[in-house]
Each structure stands twice: as structure tokens, then as C-alpha cells.
């Protein structure tokens, strides 16, 4: 099976993935595939901190604004889309750079659907539960249908506990679940001092609100979107939607936005630390961090 090389720039929210990935793409003639499960949606711009045209600096980006906000997108959809784009970018003589913070997407793409075969994965259940909270049981159920249709028929998708357990079994079934990855991946995870990262996240939430996050969600709600839609389960959207629905005050909404965003960053880092062959790069000194990233990529490409 032919394998294609791809660099992955990973890390928690607000750590600077866009900055480093665009700079790398410009220096090494690369194109970027987003692995952000929210930026795929049209109209979900402010709350997803969607990369802007200015930030792209002319670098081609994929998996941005490819779905309407009432559509769904599973892990399987992401893997198939990304494999195709990685192959196309590679065959055009450019470097594929996958960028984002949705860990389950990255793990499925780089390791195949068996998530490491029968080897115990301490983080798997927690990450599946997080995915259910963030994207809903339907997202988990789509993975289960792809992995083991028979088991899916017997599983109540409204029962999160049973759904997660069924997926644990399906994803660790080496015979039925084996699907070897076609990607030769260099995994680079950006890291930052915890207190500084949390301060950056809090500031980012303030900026989102100043830039019109509430109005953005009001517009989506006016289009008929509700908390049942996959897109509206994302952090930044579910809190504002709940506020607009009168579930709590504006002040409580802001508090929850920041808290949930910080908690998500912590989970992202936990997920990355549970993966193998990840190169962590400290980003406090951006120039030094970029030199380290560039060196890692050049060494890896030369092998």
C-alpha cells in the first residue's frame, strides 16, 4: 500500500497552530488540511476562531467551510476526505500539513480505525465520552455503524454509556476493525505554559464576544438551528445558544465559555500525551519554536 507523508501541527486551542502551520507551508511549499471539527461549517466563524483569508496568507486550505451548519460530519468522513486531499497534495509535489485540535480525527487518520488494535488505550473511553458531549451521540453512532454494523443494530444510540462501551469493543477488535493508515505522519504538538495558555484562552473568549459571537449564534438560531444539531454542540455555540434560550445569564454564559474552553484544552493535551511518537514543542519563544519545528520537518523529510 502506498503511503503519503504528512506533517501534523497539533495542540490545544489558542496555542498558535495557525501561525506556525501557515509559516511552515509558505517556507516548504505546503498546503493545509484543517482537522477542526467546527471550522468545517459555513457560518460558524467567530466561535470556531476560523482561520481568515488574511491569516491564510495565500496558502491553500482544505476542510474549511465545506458543510452547511445543519449537516453532519463523522470521524469516518474526515478520514476519507483527508486521505484524498493528502494524496492529491502529495501528487502535486506539495507538502500536506494537517492542522487542528480534534484529537480523535487525527488518531483515526494516523493509526487507522482500530486505534492501536487490542492494546489497552487508557484515554479512549474518556475521549469517546468527550466526543459525545461535544458532537452528540449521533457522531459516535456513525463510527460504530462503520466499524461494526451488526453491533450498531443492537445498540441504543440514545444510551451514551452503552454506545461508548460498544465503540470501545468495536475499536479494539483487531480482526474486524483493522484498517491500516495510509499516512506516514510526523506529529508535532505545540505546548505552552498552562497559566499563560489559560490566560490566552480567556482573552480569546473576550475577543470572540467583542467581535459578535452572540449575534452569530442568533443568526444561526434564526435559521432554525437548535441544540440538537451537531454544529451547535460545539464549545462556544452551545453555551451562547443556552443563554439565548434563557437557561442562564450573560455573566454565567461568559464564565462557562471560558471554563469549557480551558477544560477542552486540558483534554486536548491529555489526548496528545496518550499518543505515541508525538514531538512536543514549547511555543513561548515563537522564533525558537519555529526553528525547532522546521528542523524536525526537514530531518523527517530527508529520511
pLDDT tens column, 64-94? 999 999 998 888 889 889 999 999 999 999 9
pLDDT per position as a tens digit, 120-157: 455 677 778 888 887 888 888 888 888 788 778 878 88
Question: Residue 1: what pLDDT?
Answer: 65
Q: Mean pLDDT lowest for which of 64-78, 183-197, 242-256? A: 64-78
Among residues 106, 91, 124, the alpha carbon closest in space to that of 11 is found at 106
- Please tell me whether residue 47 adopts helix, strand or coil conformation: coil
- Please tell me whether residue 26 adopts helix, strand or coil conformation: helix
- What percent of the chain stands above pLDDT 90? 67
Mean pLDDT of 253-279: 94
Mean pLDDT of 273-298: 96
Domains 115-178 and 195-262 share a fold: no
Nearest-angstrom CA–CA distance, 292 and 296: 6
Nearest-angstrom CA–CA distance, 40 and 73: 9
Question: Residue 141: what pLDDT?
Answer: 87
pLDDT per position as a tens digit, 87-103: 999 999 999 999 998 88
Please determine, for residue 118, whether its predicted confidence score (pLDDT) is greater than 80.
no
Which range has the top average pLDDT, 101-105, 117-121, 261-265?
261-265
Question: Concatenated DSSP letters for 192-261?
Answer: --HHHHHHHHHHHHHHHHHTTHHHHHHHHHHTT--TTSGGGGSTTTHHHHHHHTTSS-HHHHHHHHHHHH
Question: Residue 121: what pLDDT?
Answer: 53
- Cell numbers representing residue 87 in the block: 494524496
Residues 6+ positions from 130 with CB-CB distance below 8 Å: 267
Confidence of residue 180 (pLDDT cuts 50, 70, 90): low
pLDDT per position as a tens digit, 15-61: 999 999 999 999 999 999 999 999 999 999 999 999 999 999 999 99
Mean pLDDT of 154-170: 81
Among residues 114, 40, 50, the alpha carbon closest in space to that of 77 is found at 40
Could you give the angle at the alpha carbon of 121 between the alpha carbons of 117 and 126, nearest 5°? Answer: 130
CATH code of 195-262, in short, is 1.10.287.890
Q: Classify domain 115-178 at the CATH topology level.
A: Histone, subunit A (1.10.20)
Mean pLDDT of 157-174: 76
Residues 6+ positions from 98 with CB-CB distance below 8 Å: 6, 7, 8, 9, 32, 33, 34, 35, 82, 86, 106, 109
Question: Residue 222: what pLDDT?
Answer: 98
Query: How do beta strands 95-100 and 30-34 pair?
Result: parallel
Domain ranges of the chain: 115-178, 195-262
Question: Residue 115: what pLDDT?
Answer: 42
Amino acid at each position: 500500500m502506498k503511503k503519503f507523508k504528512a506533517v501534523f501541527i497539533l495542540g490545544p486551542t489558542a496555542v498558535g497552530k495557525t501561525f506556525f502551520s501557515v509559516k511552515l507551508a509558505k517556507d516548504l511549499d505546503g498546503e493545509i488540511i484543517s482537522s477542526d471539527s467546527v471550522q468545517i461549517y459555513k457560518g460558524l466563524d467567530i466561535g470556531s476562531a476560523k482561520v481568515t483569508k488574511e491569516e491564510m496568507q495565500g496558502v491553500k486550505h482544505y476542510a474549511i467551510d465545506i458543510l452547511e451548519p445543519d449537516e453532519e460530519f463523522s470521524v469516518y468522513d474526515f478520514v476519507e476526505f483527508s486521505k484524498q486531499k493528502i494524496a492529491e497534495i502529495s501528487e502535486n509535489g506539495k507538502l500536506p500539513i494537517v492542522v487542528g485540535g480534534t484529537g480523535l480525527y487525527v488518531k483515526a487518520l494516523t493509526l487507522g480505525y482500530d486505534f492501536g488494535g487490542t492494546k489497552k488505550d487508557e484515554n479512549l473511553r474518556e475521549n469517546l465520552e468527550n466526543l459525545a458531549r461535544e458532537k452528540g451521540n449521533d457522531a459516535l453512532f456513525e463510527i460504530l455503524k462503520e466499524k461494526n454494523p451488526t453491533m450498531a443494530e443492537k445498540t441504543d444510540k440514545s444510551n451514551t454509556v452503552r454506545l461508548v462501551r460498544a465503540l470501545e469493543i468495536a475499536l479494539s477488535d483487531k480482526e474486524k476493525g483493522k484498517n491500516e493508515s495510509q499516512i506516514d505522519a510526523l506529529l508535532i504538538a505545540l505546548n505552552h505554559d498552562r497559566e499563560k495558555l489559560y490566560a490566552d484562552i480567556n482573552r480569546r473568549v473576550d475577543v470572540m464576544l467583542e467581535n459578535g459571537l452572540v449575534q452569530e449564534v442568533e443568526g444561526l438560531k434564526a435559521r432554525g438551528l437548535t441544540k440538537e444539531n451537531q454544529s451547535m454542540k460545539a464549545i462556544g455555540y452551545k453555551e451562547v445558544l443556552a443563554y439565548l434560550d434563557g437557561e442562564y445569564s450573560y455573566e454565567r454564559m461568559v464564565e462557562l465559555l471560558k471554563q469549557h474552553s480551558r477544560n477542552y484544552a486540558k483534554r486536548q493535551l491529555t489526548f496528545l500525551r496518550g499518543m505515541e511518537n508525538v514531538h512536543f514543542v514549547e511555543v513561548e519563544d515563537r522564533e525558537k519554536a519555529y526553528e525547532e519545528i522546521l528542523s524536525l520537518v526537514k530531518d523527517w523529510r530527508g529520511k
